[in-house]
Amino acid sequence: MLPLRLGGVKPRHVAIAVLVATIWGVNFVVIKVGLRDFPPLFFSALRFLAAAVPALWFVGKPKVAWKWVVAVALALGVAKFGLLFVGMAAGMPAGLSSLVLQSQVFFTVLFAAVLLRERPRAVQLAGMGVAAAGIVLIAVDYGVGSPITAFLLVVLGAVAWGLANVATRYARPPDPINFIVWVSAVAVLPLFALSLVFEGAAADLAALRGLSWTGVGSILFIAWVSTLLGFGLWNLLLRTYEAGTVVPFALLVPVAGMLSGWLLLDEAITTVRLGAAALVIIGMAATTLKRRERRVAEPELVGSAAA
Protein backbone atom coordinates (compact mmCIF):
# COMPACT_ATOMS: atom_id res chain seq x y z
CA MET A 1 0.00 0.00 0.00
CA LEU A 2 2.83 2.42 0.82
CA PRO A 3 4.98 3.60 -2.10
CA LEU A 4 8.25 2.64 -0.42
CA ARG A 5 10.97 2.02 -2.96
CA LEU A 6 13.15 -0.27 -0.87
CA GLY A 7 15.43 -1.27 -3.70
CA GLY A 8 18.88 0.15 -3.09
CA VAL A 9 18.13 1.17 0.50
CA LYS A 10 20.35 -0.56 3.02
CA PRO A 11 18.50 -2.63 5.63
CA ARG A 12 19.92 -0.57 8.50
CA HIS A 13 18.59 2.61 6.87
CA VAL A 14 15.17 1.01 6.46
CA ALA A 15 15.34 0.20 10.17
CA ILE A 16 16.28 3.81 10.96
CA ALA A 17 13.37 5.14 8.89
CA VAL A 18 10.92 2.82 10.64
CA LEU A 19 12.42 3.77 14.02
CA VAL A 20 11.97 7.50 13.35
CA ALA A 21 8.38 6.99 12.17
CA THR A 22 7.68 4.96 15.31
CA ILE A 23 9.21 7.63 17.56
CA TRP A 24 7.13 10.33 15.90
CA GLY A 25 3.99 8.21 16.21
CA VAL A 26 4.55 7.38 19.89
CA ASN A 27 5.30 11.06 20.43
CA PHE A 28 1.58 11.80 20.26
CA VAL A 29 0.98 9.46 23.19
CA VAL A 30 3.75 11.21 25.12
CA ILE A 31 2.13 14.58 24.39
CA LYS A 32 -1.17 13.27 25.69
CA VAL A 33 0.51 12.06 28.89
CA GLY A 34 2.38 15.35 29.36
CA LEU A 35 -0.84 17.34 29.01
CA ARG A 36 -1.97 15.81 32.30
CA ASP A 37 0.73 17.87 34.03
CA PHE A 38 0.92 21.07 31.96
CA PRO A 39 -1.37 23.61 30.29
CA PRO A 40 -1.02 22.99 26.53
CA LEU A 41 0.63 26.25 25.43
CA PHE A 42 2.97 26.20 28.43
CA PHE A 43 3.85 22.56 27.66
CA SER A 44 4.65 23.45 24.05
CA ALA A 45 6.89 26.32 25.17
CA LEU A 46 8.78 24.05 27.59
CA ARG A 47 9.24 21.51 24.82
CA PHE A 48 10.91 24.02 22.52
CA LEU A 49 12.95 25.47 25.36
CA ALA A 50 14.34 22.03 26.22
CA ALA A 51 15.10 21.32 22.56
CA ALA A 52 16.77 24.63 21.77
CA VAL A 53 18.88 25.46 24.84
CA PRO A 54 21.34 22.52 24.73
CA ALA A 55 21.51 22.48 20.92
CA LEU A 56 22.20 26.18 20.36
CA TRP A 57 25.73 25.69 21.69
CA PHE A 58 26.54 23.32 18.83
CA VAL A 59 24.68 24.53 15.72
CA GLY A 60 26.14 28.02 15.41
CA LYS A 61 24.39 31.04 13.95
CA PRO A 62 21.34 30.72 11.65
CA LYS A 63 22.33 29.94 8.06
CA VAL A 64 19.27 31.54 6.47
CA ALA A 65 17.78 35.05 6.75
CA TRP A 66 16.14 35.80 10.09
CA LYS A 67 12.81 36.55 8.38
CA TRP A 68 12.52 32.88 7.39
CA VAL A 69 13.49 31.65 10.85
CA VAL A 70 10.81 33.87 12.39
CA ALA A 71 8.19 32.98 9.76
CA VAL A 72 8.63 29.24 10.22
CA ALA A 73 8.86 29.61 14.01
CA LEU A 74 5.49 31.38 14.08
CA ALA A 75 3.80 29.02 11.63
CA LEU A 76 5.34 25.73 12.77
CA GLY A 77 6.42 26.27 16.35
CA VAL A 78 3.69 28.59 17.60
CA ALA A 79 0.64 27.98 15.39
CA LYS A 80 1.02 24.31 14.44
CA PHE A 81 2.19 22.95 17.77
CA GLY A 82 0.12 25.40 19.80
CA LEU A 83 -3.06 24.35 18.01
CA LEU A 84 -2.12 20.66 18.19
CA PHE A 85 -1.46 20.74 21.93
CA VAL A 86 -4.62 22.76 22.64
CA GLY A 87 -6.67 20.42 20.46
CA MET A 88 -5.32 17.35 22.22
CA ALA A 89 -5.91 18.97 25.61
CA ALA A 90 -9.51 19.62 24.51
CA GLY A 91 -10.05 15.91 23.93
CA MET A 92 -8.60 14.91 20.56
CA PRO A 93 -7.14 11.38 20.93
CA ALA A 94 -3.44 10.85 20.33
CA GLY A 95 -3.93 8.31 17.55
CA LEU A 96 -6.41 10.38 15.58
CA SER A 97 -4.26 13.49 16.07
CA SER A 98 -1.30 11.70 14.48
CA LEU A 99 -3.47 10.86 11.48
CA VAL A 100 -5.36 14.14 11.03
CA LEU A 101 -2.19 16.22 11.41
CA GLN A 102 -0.70 14.46 8.40
CA SER A 103 -3.30 16.23 6.27
CA GLN A 104 -0.55 18.88 6.18
CA VAL A 105 0.51 17.12 2.98
CA PHE A 106 -2.81 18.17 1.44
CA PHE A 107 -2.43 21.78 2.55
CA THR A 108 1.24 21.94 1.50
CA VAL A 109 0.34 20.94 -2.06
CA LEU A 110 -2.52 23.45 -2.05
CA PHE A 111 -0.43 26.35 -0.72
CA ALA A 112 2.47 25.50 -3.05
CA ALA A 113 0.08 25.71 -6.00
CA VAL A 114 -1.24 29.12 -4.91
CA LEU A 115 1.91 30.77 -3.54
CA LEU A 116 4.71 29.02 -5.45
CA ARG A 117 2.83 28.36 -8.70
CA GLU A 118 3.69 24.67 -8.41
CA ARG A 119 0.99 23.03 -10.46
CA PRO A 120 -0.16 19.76 -8.89
CA ARG A 121 -0.35 16.74 -11.17
CA ALA A 122 -3.45 14.65 -11.71
CA VAL A 123 -2.29 11.90 -9.35
CA GLN A 124 -1.71 14.47 -6.60
CA LEU A 125 -5.16 15.98 -7.07
CA ALA A 126 -6.72 12.54 -6.95
CA GLY A 127 -4.75 11.72 -3.80
CA MET A 128 -5.86 14.96 -2.17
CA GLY A 129 -9.47 14.07 -2.91
CA VAL A 130 -9.10 10.61 -1.39
CA ALA A 131 -7.34 11.98 1.71
CA ALA A 132 -9.97 14.69 2.10
CA ALA A 133 -12.71 12.06 1.99
CA GLY A 134 -10.94 10.18 4.79
CA ILE A 135 -10.62 13.34 6.91
CA VAL A 136 -14.34 14.13 6.45
CA LEU A 137 -15.21 10.56 7.43
CA ILE A 138 -13.11 10.90 10.58
CA ALA A 139 -14.77 14.22 11.39
CA VAL A 140 -18.23 12.67 11.08
CA ASP A 141 -17.28 9.61 13.16
CA TYR A 142 -15.42 11.62 15.78
CA GLY A 143 -18.06 14.33 16.04
CA VAL A 144 -20.80 11.87 16.98
CA GLY A 145 -19.76 11.74 20.63
CA SER A 146 -16.83 14.13 20.99
CA PRO A 147 -16.25 17.90 20.81
CA ILE A 148 -15.73 18.76 17.15
CA THR A 149 -13.78 21.87 18.21
CA ALA A 150 -10.84 19.69 19.27
CA PHE A 151 -10.81 18.05 15.84
CA LEU A 152 -10.92 21.41 14.06
CA LEU A 153 -8.01 22.74 16.14
CA VAL A 154 -5.81 19.87 14.94
CA VAL A 155 -6.91 20.49 11.34
CA LEU A 156 -5.93 24.14 11.73
CA GLY A 157 -2.59 22.92 13.06
CA ALA A 158 -2.17 21.00 9.81
CA VAL A 159 -3.00 24.18 7.86
CA ALA A 160 -0.28 26.04 9.77
CA TRP A 161 2.15 23.22 9.03
CA GLY A 162 1.41 23.55 5.33
CA LEU A 163 2.25 27.27 5.48
CA ALA A 164 5.47 26.46 7.34
CA ASN A 165 6.46 24.03 4.60
CA VAL A 166 5.97 26.70 1.94
CA ALA A 167 8.04 29.17 3.95
CA THR A 168 10.74 26.52 4.23
CA ARG A 169 10.69 26.12 0.46
CA TYR A 170 11.47 29.82 0.18
CA ALA A 171 14.19 29.64 2.85
CA ARG A 172 15.89 26.48 1.50
CA PRO A 173 18.03 25.99 4.64
CA PRO A 174 21.42 24.42 3.82
CA ASP A 175 21.58 22.87 7.31
CA PRO A 176 18.11 21.61 8.39
CA ILE A 177 19.25 20.78 11.94
CA ASN A 178 20.58 24.31 12.44
CA PHE A 179 17.32 25.63 11.04
CA ILE A 180 14.97 23.59 13.24
CA VAL A 181 16.98 24.40 16.38
CA TRP A 182 16.71 28.14 15.73
CA VAL A 183 13.03 27.78 14.83
CA SER A 184 12.56 26.06 18.19
CA ALA A 185 14.41 28.83 20.01
CA VAL A 186 12.40 31.64 18.41
CA ALA A 187 9.08 29.88 19.18
CA VAL A 188 9.72 29.80 22.95
CA LEU A 189 8.91 33.40 23.92
CA PRO A 190 5.70 33.74 21.85
CA LEU A 191 4.39 30.49 23.32
CA PHE A 192 5.20 31.58 26.87
CA ALA A 193 3.46 34.91 26.18
CA LEU A 194 0.35 33.19 24.80
CA SER A 195 0.32 30.86 27.80
CA LEU A 196 0.40 33.82 30.19
CA VAL A 197 -2.47 35.50 28.35
CA PHE A 198 -4.76 32.51 27.81
CA GLU A 199 -3.75 30.05 30.55
CA GLY A 200 -2.56 32.42 33.24
CA ALA A 201 0.57 32.65 35.34
CA ALA A 202 -1.14 30.82 38.21
CA ALA A 203 -1.75 27.72 36.09
CA ASP A 204 1.82 27.73 34.78
CA LEU A 205 3.32 28.14 38.25
CA ALA A 206 1.06 25.41 39.63
CA ALA A 207 2.31 23.05 36.92
CA LEU A 208 5.93 23.80 37.84
CA ARG A 209 5.30 23.38 41.56
CA GLY A 210 3.59 20.04 40.96
CA LEU A 211 6.22 18.85 38.48
CA SER A 212 6.45 15.07 38.36
CA TRP A 213 8.91 12.66 36.78
CA THR A 214 6.22 11.88 34.22
CA GLY A 215 6.07 15.53 33.22
CA VAL A 216 9.84 15.86 33.03
CA GLY A 217 10.09 12.67 31.00
CA SER A 218 7.44 13.89 28.57
CA ILE A 219 9.30 17.13 27.94
CA LEU A 220 12.65 15.41 27.46
CA PHE A 221 11.23 12.74 25.15
CA ILE A 222 9.49 15.27 22.92
CA ALA A 223 12.46 17.67 22.91
CA TRP A 224 15.43 15.33 22.71
CA VAL A 225 14.16 12.06 21.28
CA SER A 226 11.41 13.18 18.93
CA THR A 227 12.84 16.55 17.87
CA LEU A 228 16.64 16.36 18.03
CA LEU A 229 17.24 12.63 17.54
CA GLY A 230 14.32 12.23 15.14
CA PHE A 231 15.33 15.15 12.95
CA GLY A 232 18.98 14.13 13.08
CA LEU A 233 18.28 10.59 11.86
CA TRP A 234 15.79 11.80 9.26
CA ASN A 235 18.32 14.30 7.94
CA LEU A 236 20.88 11.47 7.67
CA LEU A 237 18.47 9.54 5.44
CA LEU A 238 17.68 12.59 3.29
CA ARG A 239 21.38 13.20 2.76
CA THR A 240 21.85 9.58 1.68
CA TYR A 241 18.81 8.98 -0.54
CA GLU A 242 16.41 10.93 -2.71
CA ALA A 243 13.59 12.63 -0.84
CA GLY A 244 11.05 10.57 -2.81
CA THR A 245 12.59 7.41 -1.35
CA VAL A 246 12.65 8.62 2.26
CA VAL A 247 9.53 10.77 2.69
CA PRO A 248 6.95 7.98 2.14
CA PHE A 249 8.20 6.34 5.35
CA ALA A 250 6.50 9.24 7.15
CA LEU A 251 3.20 7.58 6.24
CA LEU A 252 4.02 5.09 8.97
CA VAL A 253 3.71 7.86 11.59
CA PRO A 254 -0.10 7.75 11.90
CA VAL A 255 0.03 3.96 11.89
CA ALA A 256 2.41 4.05 14.87
CA GLY A 257 0.37 6.82 16.47
CA MET A 258 -2.94 4.98 16.27
CA LEU A 259 -1.44 1.66 17.41
CA SER A 260 0.40 3.23 20.36
CA GLY A 261 -2.71 5.19 21.33
CA TRP A 262 -4.69 1.95 21.32
CA LEU A 263 -2.05 -0.03 23.22
CA LEU A 264 -0.94 2.58 25.76
CA LEU A 265 -3.97 4.82 26.23
CA ASP A 266 -6.77 2.38 25.40
CA GLU A 267 -8.05 4.65 22.61
CA ALA A 268 -10.82 3.15 20.51
CA ILE A 269 -10.10 2.13 16.93
CA THR A 270 -13.43 1.63 15.17
CA THR A 271 -13.97 0.06 11.77
CA VAL A 272 -14.96 3.47 10.39
CA ARG A 273 -11.75 5.04 11.68
CA LEU A 274 -9.63 2.25 10.22
CA GLY A 275 -11.29 2.72 6.83
CA ALA A 276 -10.85 6.49 7.04
CA ALA A 277 -7.20 6.04 8.05
CA ALA A 278 -6.63 3.87 4.99
CA LEU A 279 -8.13 6.57 2.76
CA VAL A 280 -5.96 9.28 4.31
CA ILE A 281 -2.75 7.25 4.04
CA ILE A 282 -3.43 6.18 0.44
CA GLY A 283 -4.29 9.75 -0.50
CA MET A 284 -1.18 11.16 1.15
CA ALA A 285 0.92 8.50 -0.54
CA ALA A 286 -0.28 9.77 -3.91
CA THR A 287 0.64 13.36 -3.05
CA THR A 288 4.21 12.33 -2.21
CA LEU A 289 4.83 10.87 -5.67
CA LYS A 290 7.24 13.10 -7.56
CA ARG A 291 8.99 13.24 -10.87
CA ARG A 292 12.33 11.47 -10.71
CA GLU A 293 14.31 14.46 -11.94
CA ARG A 294 13.33 16.65 -9.00
CA ARG A 295 15.30 16.45 -5.79
CA VAL A 296 14.52 18.95 -3.06
CA ALA A 297 15.40 17.48 0.31
CA GLU A 298 15.35 20.44 2.66
CA PRO A 299 11.64 21.29 2.64
CA GLU A 300 10.75 17.65 3.15
CA LEU A 301 12.58 17.59 6.49
CA VAL A 302 10.16 19.99 8.13
CA GLY A 303 7.19 18.64 6.20
CA SER A 304 7.70 15.11 7.33
CA ALA A 305 8.01 15.40 11.07
CA ALA A 306 4.96 14.41 12.99
CA ALA A 307 5.11 16.40 16.17
pLDDT, tens digit (0-9, with 9 covering 90-100), for 218-266: 999 999 999 989 988 988 887 788 766 777 788 888 889 999 999 999 9
Q: Is residue 1 part of a domain?
A: no
* 252 lies in some domain: yes
Q: What b/e string do you get for 115-133 counting C-beta neighbours within 10 Å, with b at 16 or more?
A: eeeeeeeeebeebbebbee
Structure pTM?
Answer: 0.87
* Residue 147 DSSP symbol: -
Region 28-56: mean pLDDT is 95
Q: How many CB atoms lie within 10 A of CB 43?
A: 29
Q: Is residue 6 part of a domain?
A: no
Position 134 scores a pLDDT of 86
| Residue 99 to residue 276: CA distance in whole angstroms | 10
What domain count does the chain have? 1
3 within some domain: no
pLDDT of residue 145: 61
256 lies in some domain: yes
The string of pLDDT tens digits covering residues 271-282 is: 888 888 888 888
Polymer length of the chain: 307
Is there a domain that residue 234 lies in?
yes
Per the structure, the complete domain to which residue 213 belongs is given by: 11-304
Please indicate, yes or no, if residue 68 is contained in any of the structural domains: yes
Q: Tell me if 122 is assigned to some domain.
A: yes
> Is residue 8 within a helix (H) or strand (E), and if so which, with residue range?
none
